[in-house]
Structure formats: C-alpha cells, structure tokens
Chain A
C-alpha cells in the first residue's frame, strides 16, 4: 500500500524558472497527479482559484507578490476554494524570527533551501498525516501556531493518556517493573521492610 499521490494537485509558486522546474520534476517523480506552476504570488493566486490545489508550495521572495503576502491573501480570502489549504514556504532564511514571520502569516510548513528530496517529502507527509488545527482570532487566521517542542517524542508525558498508547504504555510498564525490582533489591540488601520508617539524620 502506498500513497496515491496521483489523486492530488500541487501548486508550485516560484519565480526562479530552473528552480520551479526542479520542484515540479521532484513532485512528478513522487507520483503527484497534477503539478501546476506559477511564476509569482499574483499568478499563483489565480491558479489557486482555477485549480483548487490540495497543497501549495511557494517561494518566499518573489515580485510582485511574495510568498508571505500570497499566504495572507489565501487565508483571508473568504471566497477562495480552500482557506485551509496547506502552504509550504520555501526559503533560504532559517533564522528564528523569519520562521515566526512566516508562521504569523499563516504558513503551514517551512522548507529551508537548499533541500533534498526527502526534506520535501517529509513536509508533504507532515501536512498529510499531521494536519494542524486552525485558529480564528482577532487579526489572525491560520494554522495553530503552537507547536509541540518535540514532535518526534514518543515517550511518556506523565499523563493518564500514556497508558492508552500501546507502545508507550508497554514501555512505561516495563520501566516501572524494572524500578520495582531494583527497589526490592535495595530493600533486601539493607534489610528494610516495605512499611519501615527510616530516620535520616543530617551529618554535622
């Protein structure tokens, strides 16, 4: 069983023609059914209305409309085909404040150039498998900007829900059993019973 990417349309907005060709070729190799290209945000916005893409991949720096303005326009366009469409922003910037700027505009994912095929694929998996909820608040409409610090963390969160996750719950129970065994050993070697009270004296 594999992704049926032939069922989706991806819009790529990039003013650098060779780069646009490369991204289109990568997506076609992945098996994406329809890959639409646009040379800037202005044309991209028209294509967005025309083709109703499932994913948009846009460059940041473009004229006359850059990727950030394009994103704001898509998110703010009530007549648009899909204001929730995932937008992946490609850019050479990787600085924290730039990421925040993109996030505040409503960008879903950030793809730092230069990237490799797996980087692009990972962003696609992210928007397919882990879509973000949207937030509508004063002055903002876009994907929830709060992100778990470690999305790859599979360990316990010290919550009841840990036990509902079979892989985490199992590991946690094993760890607890090991800890109990260790405690038992300590008790046995020191001759302390389970209910014994211990008076700890501080050293002078």
Chain B
C-alpha cells in the first residue's frame, strides 16, 4: 500500500461528498420557460427607464476620491489600498453601465479595470491615465451617450487604448503582467 504522505505533494485531505435532495427540481418540474417569456423579460431590460445618472455620479465621485488619495504623499506607500479604492467604483461602472443602457461605459470601465489590475503603483503617469478614463466616462454620462457610441465611441476607446499602450511601453514589467492577465494567469 502506498504511503499516505509524499514529500513533494500537498497532504491528502479527507473530504465528505454530499448529494443534497434536489427539492428545487421537485418543486418546479420540467420544461423550462417559453421564448415568449424570455423575450418579454429581455424587452423589459432593454426598455426600462431607470436613471443611471445618480449612480454614475456616485461611482465617478468615488473614483475621484481614489485619484486624489493617489496624489497625496502619505499614501505613496499604500498603492494597493489606493488602487483598490479606484477599482471598486470602476467595477461598479463596468457592471451597471450596460444594465442601464450605457454600454460604452461598460467597455471603457472594463479597460480601466484591466489597467488597475496590472499596475503596481498609482504613480503620476498612472494617475494621468486614470484621470483620462474618468474624464471620458464623465463626458459620456453628461452627454447621455447610450449604447456603444458608434464611431465616436470607437475613437474614444482608441485614444484610451493608445494612452495605456504608451504607459505599458514605458513600463515593460507592467506590460508583462498585462500579458499574464490576458492569458488568465493573473
């Protein structure tokens, strides 16, 4: 019989497997729901008139607070904290933008998340880029540019991409972190 312990492997853990009763299935039965209902639900999602502006202002405001903290000398050594302060509202903008018809906000906020996830510190160069993202998103919200923004939206995304590329060219270490991130290693 093989030894239970192995120097190069993590110790085996005892696990109990439980298969709970599927009471949910028993309650709802079979058959799914019709396409009509799904289309009705989708129409509801596409046509709701909930206002995104107050929420967006809240999250953009929180992003500004993070940007301000990043510029304060006493937070110079607390990059992780400062970055997380900016990451939270950005994630909210990404998540909620598209739910409230602002798909361009989702795309841009997603790019900012990618940027924030790979930078090691929120130095002056990084803050400049984050501010550009903020200004762009604020302009989109105030201009009520819903959807993807068409060719104008593409131009905005292109400009932000270029700014990020310039930063990554300047800091190859961050670029390699970005590559890892893109490959899902991060």
Contacts and interface: CB of A to CB of B under 8 A. Distances in A.
Interface in A121-145: 121, 125, 127-129, 131, 133-138, 144
B17 A133 contact: yes
B16 A136 contact: yes
A86 interface: yes
B40 interface: yes
Contacts of A61: 88, 91-92
How large, as a class, is the contact surface on chain B?
Answer: 35 or more
A19 B92 CA distance: 11
Interface string B59-79: 000000000000000000000
B38 interface: yes
Interface stretch (A40-48, A92-100, A155-163, A189-197): A92-100
Contacts of B37: 29-31
B28 interface: yes
Contacts of B42: 116-118
Contacts, number: 141
Contacts of A166: none
Contact of B91 (A21, A92, A117): A92
A93 B32 contact: no
Contact of A31 (B23, B33, B48): B33
B27 A137 contact: no
Interface string A82-124: 0010100011110111000000000000000111111011000
Nearest to A6: B28
How large, as a class, is the contact surface on chain A?
Answer: 35 or more
Contact of B16 (A16, A118, A135): A135
A86 B32 CA distance: 18
Which residue of B27, B50, B92, B95 has the most chain A CB atoms within 10 A of its CB atom?
Answer: B95
Contacts of B15: 135-137
A7 B31 CA distance: 15
A131 B95 contact: no
A75 to B, nearest CB: 12
A26 B44 contact: yes
Contacts of A8: 24, 27-28
Contacts of B95: 90-92, 113-114
Contacts of B31: 1-3
Interface stretch (B96-104, B137-145, B150-158): B96-104
Contact of A113 (B20, B48, B96): B96
A55 interface: yes
A127 B41 contact: no
Which residue of B20, B52, B186 has the most chain A CB atoms within 10 A of its CB atom?
Answer: B20
B25 interface: yes
Contact of B45 (A7, A26, A137, A144): A26
Interface string A25-56: 11001110000000000000000000000110
Contact of B96 (A19, A95, A116, A138): A19
Which residue of A3, A5, A91 has the most chain B CB atoms within 10 A of its CB atom?
Answer: A3
B19 interface: yes
Q: What are the 7 A-B residue pairs with the smallest beta carbon separation, nearest first?
A: A114-B98, A92-B95, A113-B95, A117-B41, A1-B31, A137-B15, A18-B50
Interface of B: 13-20, 22-25, 27-34, 37-38, 40-42, 44-45, 48, 50-52, 55, 88, 91-92, 94-100, 103, 106, 109, 113, 117, 181, 184-186
8 contacts: A1-B31, A3-B33, A54-B24, A54-B27, A61-B92, A118-B38, A121-B33, A136-B15
